Structure 1
């Protein structure tokens, strides 16, 4: 129950920061943005103290560790893959164009007997 109260408090603090942005409409923009950022920082710090907040922090750390394990392709591999994709797109475009024109010829000229003007 304490986690739910802390999370609700975090939402109220965040809403107060956003409300501060609008209530300070006569002030400089930097103060208005600062109100939102302070509200966000306080809300995150309160939410971090909850059990779901701690789980999220652990998950985030694990995600960063996994992202560091990614092996990126070399420039040569990237260029080869990109070239293969472009070649496939060109071949498919030609195939679809020829198929479309063939069906057009069969349907208009042979089946329906229409001549294009």
Structure 2
């Protein structure tokens, strides 16, 4: 019974992802199709559709996994000790000297 539930969940996730992509593509097509309307209205509509599409994709297992990857990547970037401007300048000078030599 557990594998059947997993299969149904995986199938539902695929349907959600496909619908999310179709919705996003339809938003882009509508953006260019309704070019006689105000640009502000078209951009706001596109942003709304992109938000709905993203929210729908996030509600899948793959979407949650991608979000976790993005979150973890941002945390790792914050842990990096970036060089100071002085260190960067010194390294650049050393590289230029080595290229000239």
Q: TM-score by structure 2 length?
A: 0.84
SS at match of 2:82: coil
Which structure has more relative contact order (CA 8 Å, sep 6+)? It is 2
Of 78, 88, 91 in structure 2, the residue corresponding to residue 78 of structure 1 is 88
Contact 1:14 1:40 in 2 (8 A): yes
Name the CA distance, whole Å, in 2 between partners of 1:23 and 1:35: 13
SS at match of 1:78: helix
Mean alpha-carbon deviation: is it higher for 5-14 or for 29-38?
29-38
Q: Quick check: 1:42 aligned with 2:48?
A: no
Name the CA distance, whole Å, in 1 between partners of 2:21 and 2:84: 45
Name the CA distance, whole Å, in 2 between partners of 1:48 and 1:13: 14
Residue-pair matches, total: 91
Aligned to 2:31: 21
**CA radius of gyration, larger in:** 1
What runs of 5+ residues in structure 1 fail to find an aligned partner? 92-117
Cα displacement (A) at 1:2: 0.4
